Amino acid sequence: MFKDKKQIKYLIIYIAIAIGFIVIFNYGKAGLTTKKITYSEFKTLLHDNKIEKVTVGPSTINIDPKESAGYNGLTLYADKVVPDTTLVAELEKAKTDSGLKYDGAPEKGISFTEILIYYILPFIPIIIIGRLLFGRMDKKMGGGVMSFGKNTAKLYAEAETGVTFKDVAGQEEAKESLKEIVDFLHNPQKYVDIGAKLPKGALLVGPPGTGKTLLAKAVAGEAKVPFFSMSGSDFVEMFVGMGASRVRDLFKQAEEKAPCIVFIDEIDAIGKSREGSIQGNDEREQTLNQLLSEMDGFDSSKGVVILAATNRPEVLDKALLRPGRFDRRVIVDRPDLKGRIAILEVHSKDVKMDDEVNLEAIAKGTPGAVGADLANIVNEGAIRAVKQRRRFVIQEDLEEAIEVVIAGKEKKDRIMSPKEKSVVAYHEVGHALVAAMLNNTDPVHKITIVPRTMGALGYTMQLPEEEKYLVSRDEMLDEITVMLGGRSAEEVEFNIVSTGASNDIERASQSARRMITMYGMSDRFDMMGLEATQNRYLDGRAVMNCSEATATIIDEEVLNIIKKCHNDAKDVLNNNRDLLTEIADVLLEKETISGDEFMDIIYKKYPEKKAEREEKEKQKKLLEEEAKKKKEEREILEREILEKELAKANEIEQNKLAEQNPQNDISSQQNQNMITDNNQKVEGNEVNSLAAKDNQTENDSTENNQW
């Protein structure tokens, strides 16, 4: 009920004020109109004839003094302590002397007026203050203690996000599909007039950190409309029925502020499919139903557009994806090389960089990284520059930042025994050497045995020479062999096995399994699909799709692959014991060696490898040039086709106009312009769809053999 400390603080203040009021009122009862005096003082007043009236009760005596007694109208009372046998005689005497009135009274109960004054009245100001306090709190924090249903909780509203499409880099396809929504928000009437059905919602789908939230904000920013955002998990937080009422409130607010963007992050938290859940989750279902009916209910011509983000589109309820709801799907995938360069550029805009900094190299070194990672790398680099008292970020800062983001900070103070250090060195060189000797592997970029905070005792970094969208069977096998090369080196050199290879083993087994179950790379099962990806955008988790008997055979096949690769790795290392020792010694001495240093040692023994590498690089350059030329040719061709079509369309249109209206030259001219405009738009779209790449991200792009 109390969501944070602030709320508890308010409650304490409230109670304190309440107690204060009660004390004041009760003090008033005791001390403001009555005064206690001693029994002897009472007797003195009585003898001096200064009393108007006395009422004798079982335990107290109430006294109304005369004005001459000087008590300013206070009522007095005294405790009746001792049995006073002469009291009645004295009262009788005073009655004759000065007309005193006296009476006996039973101990009286509390009268209704007293209850009203002393016990009810004080609560009125308390209630008023309480309402004021909590009312204010509601407004500040939304949905506070006194208004459970009213939703503003965690609703995050921005009048203007200030984010534009320029801030989102490398998501060109996604931006293209969202531009339409921006245009619609700018000018809904245009669409209404022509009778076009307007988009109600779009679903942004992609892995975490690729910029879905950023894109949604950019749509709002470009259209200059308010941005409401809420996370799916906030809807299903508190009590049953809350979620639905929050949805209702959210839409009510949005309609008041239309045109605007409503962004629901993690929509899978409420939008999970209702089928298949036997138990059912009433709260979530209610919330989802409310969302569906709100989406159906609102009038899209007002200009409310709902954007939702998820990285698990496959679990969403089909009803959410039907026309009129989230019928558009915008893929926000991991950026490719070009995208990564662009993202790095965006984030280094406000960072002072040395002229030598090569962002392309950084982008090449981070296959698989998403926008959030890259933003993080630039920032880590800047922090490192500050630490080293430099005014500019240099390439080295960024290189180091990549490693910090991948493997954690260096832990130079960890002391390892020389024996352990040597095991780690051989392990890493094992990975690197196997990679260098096999044909279908990525070049080694760096080998290090400086421990890192994220558990790595050392690692070997390989970087692909170019963006890869497809991985062949041979490449997968060689990759597995490289992963197993670390442990193999320990065996070959020390004839021991250690716990250090657990991560290698896990990844190798996973790759081997996928080869069989998902990629159709085994003879035994041919192209039979045995596993289905469940979670393409999150972690690629898969579910088995076969009988138990088959699963047993799959295990056998996985084991066969692993055994073969393990043996291959050991063979490579046994054949190159000299290199293994030499490089391990260098690594133990230097702790980190670069890919070039490493390859130089290899080239001494295998000069032909050097020639091979050079040949490869030459080929690559040629290919690049060819691709560039082809692209230019294609553009020229497209332009020619377009021009021809344009001319044809103009001709037809002109002929038509001439028939209809032979005199009116001006309007025909105008129409011609319009046609040109339209055609230009077509051109833009065509170029774009041709440029759209088949962005296949199946390959495991992190190639760091952590130990």
Interface residue list for Zn ion (CB under 5 A)? 486, 504, 705, 707
How far apart are the C-alpha atoms of 532 and 404, rounded to whole Å? 34
When asked if residue 271 is in the footprint of ligand ATP (CB under 6 A), the reply is no
Smallest separation, CB 345 to ligand ATP (Å): 9
Pick the closer one to Zn ion by CB: 258 or 579: 579
Pick the closer one to ligand ATP by CB: 171 or 517: 171
Among Zn ion, ligand ATP, none, the one that 378 touches (CB under a kind-dependent 5 to 8 A) is none
When asked if residue 481 is in the footprint of ligand ATP (CB under 6 A), the reply is no
Residues 17-76 that bind ligand ATP (CB under 6 A): none
> Residue with CB nearest ligand ATP?
371
When asked if residue 372 is in the footprint of ligand ATP (CB under 6 A), the reply is yes
Among Zn ion, ligand ATP, none, the one that 309 touches (CB under a kind-dependent 5 to 8 A) is ligand ATP
Among Zn ion, ligand ATP, none, the one that 504 touches (CB under a kind-dependent 5 to 8 A) is Zn ion
Smallest separation, CB 603 to Zn ion (Å): 24
When asked if residue 213 is in the footprint of ligand ATP (CB under 6 A), the reply is yes
Q: Report yes or no: 46 and 39 within 8 Å, Cβ to Cβ.
A: no
Tokens of 561: 């692959």
Q: Which one of residues 309, 407, 434, 593 is an interface residue with ligand ATP (CB under 6 A)?
A: 309
- For 511-618, where are the E strands, in sequence order? 531-533, 542-544, 592-594
Pick the closer one to Zn ion by CB: 385 or 424: 424
Among Zn ion, ligand ATP, none, the one that 369 touches (CB under a kind-dependent 5 to 8 A) is none
Pick the closer one to ligand ATP by CB: 212 or 507: 212
Pick the closer one to ligand ATP by CB: 213 or 462: 213
When asked if residue 363 is in the footprint of ligand ATP (CB under 6 A), the reply is no
Containing 89, the helix (H) or strand (E) segment is: helix 87-98
Q: Give the interface segment with ligand ATP, choosing from 208-216, 248-256, 353-361, 653-661 (CB under 6 A).
A: 208-216
Q: Which one of residues 130, 211, 226, 381 is an interface residue with ligand ATP (CB under 6 A)?
A: 211
Residues 158-177 that bind ligand ATP (CB under 6 A): 168-171
H helix runs in 302-413, sequence order: 337-348, 359-364, 371-387, 395-407
Residues known to be catalytic = 428
Q: Which one of residues 51, 94, 269, 343 is an interface residue with ligand ATP (CB under 6 A)?
A: 343
> CA-CA distances (angstroms) from residue 352 to 339, 357, 398?
21, 10, 12
Among ligand ATP, Zn ion, none, the one that 705 touches (CB under a kind-dependent 5 to 8 A) is Zn ion
How far apart are the C-alpha atoms of 364 and 435, rounded to whole Å? 19
DSSP conformation class of 523: T
CA angle 365, 367, 373 (to 5 degrees): 90
How far apart are the C-alpha atoms of 409 and 407, rounded to whole Å? 7
When asked if residue 346 is in the footprint of ligand ATP (CB under 6 A), the reply is yes
Q: Report yes or no: 55 and 70 within 8 Å, Cβ to Cβ.
A: no
Which residue type, as a one-letter code, is found at position 362? I
When asked if residue 209 is in the footprint of ligand ATP (CB under 6 A), the reply is yes
Among ligand ATP, Zn ion, none, the one that 102 touches (CB under a kind-dependent 5 to 8 A) is none
* Torsion angles phi and psi, residue 305, rounded to 5: -115, 130
> CA-CA distances (angstroms) from residue 32 to 35, 107, 143, 589?
8, 21, 43, 90
Pick the closer one to ligand ATP by CB: 311 or 441: 311
When asked if residue 205 is in the footprint of ligand ATP (CB under 6 A), the reply is no
Among ligand ATP, Zn ion, none, the one that 198 touches (CB under a kind-dependent 5 to 8 A) is none
Instruction: Find the radius of gyration of the CA atoms of the chain.
Output: 41
Q: Which one of residues 50, 175, 200, 212 is an interface residue with ligand ATP (CB under 6 A)?
A: 212
When asked if residue 405 is in the footprint of ligand ATP (CB under 6 A), the reply is no
Which residues lie across from 78 on neighbouring strands?
Answer: 61
Pick the closer one to Zn ion by CB: 371 or 486: 486
Residues 99-128 that bind ligand ATP (CB under 6 A): none
Burial class (CB in 10 A: 0-12, 13-18, 19+), 541: exposed
Q: Give the interface segment with ligand ATP, choosing from 90-98, 188-196, 202-210, 442-450 (CB under 6 A).
A: 202-210
> Residue 543: which of 532, 554, 530 has the closest Cα?
532
Smallest separation, CB 383 to ligand ATP (Å): 16
Secondary structure (3-state) at 260: strand
Among Zn ion, ligand ATP, none, the one that 707 touches (CB under a kind-dependent 5 to 8 A) is Zn ion
> CA-CA distances (angstroms) from residue 91 to 45, 75, 101, 469?
11, 18, 8, 114
Among ligand ATP, Zn ion, none, the one that 684 touches (CB under a kind-dependent 5 to 8 A) is none
Q: Report yes or no: 378 and 401 within 8 Å, Cβ to Cβ.
A: yes
Q: Which one of residues 188, 201, 221, 371 is an interface residue with ligand ATP (CB under 6 A)?
A: 371
Pick the closer one to Zn ion by CB: 265 or 504: 504
Smallest separation, CB 360 to ligand ATP (Å): 16
Among ligand ATP, Zn ion, none, the one that 214 touches (CB under a kind-dependent 5 to 8 A) is ligand ATP
Secondary structure (3-state) at 660: helix
Q: Which one of residues 262, 375, 562, 579 is an interface residue with ligand ATP (CB under 6 A)?
A: 375
Tokens of 280: 């059912």
Smallest separation, CB 179 to ligand ATP (Å): 16
> Residue with CB nearest Zn ion?
486
Containing 78, the helix (H) or strand (E) segment is: strand 75-79
User: Which letter, b or e, does each residue of 163-195 get, where b requires 16 or more Cβ atoms within 10 Å of its Cβ?
Assistant: bebebbbbbebbbbbbeebbebbeebeebeeee
Tokens of 113: 């007026």
When asked if residue 265 is in the footprint of ligand ATP (CB under 6 A), the reply is yes
Smallest separation, CB 212 to ligand ATP (Å): 4
When asked if residue 348 is in the footprint of ligand ATP (CB under 6 A), the reply is no
Pick the closer one to ligand ATP by CB: 372 or 588: 372
Give CB contacts under 8 A, 24+ apart, made by 319-322.
319/288, 319/292, 320/267, 320/271, 320/288, 320/291, 320/292, 321/203
Q: Report yes or no: 466 and 399 within 8 Å, Cβ to Cβ.
A: no
User: Which letter, b or e, does each residue of 409-432 get, where b requires 16 or more Cβ atoms within 10 Å of its Cβ?
Assistant: ebeeeeeeeeeebbbbbbbbbbbb
Characterize the bridge pairing of strands 304-310 and 260-265.
parallel
Among Zn ion, ligand ATP, none, the one that 371 touches (CB under a kind-dependent 5 to 8 A) is ligand ATP
Binding site for ligand ATP (CB under 6 A): 168-171, 208-214, 265, 309, 311, 343, 346, 371-372, 375
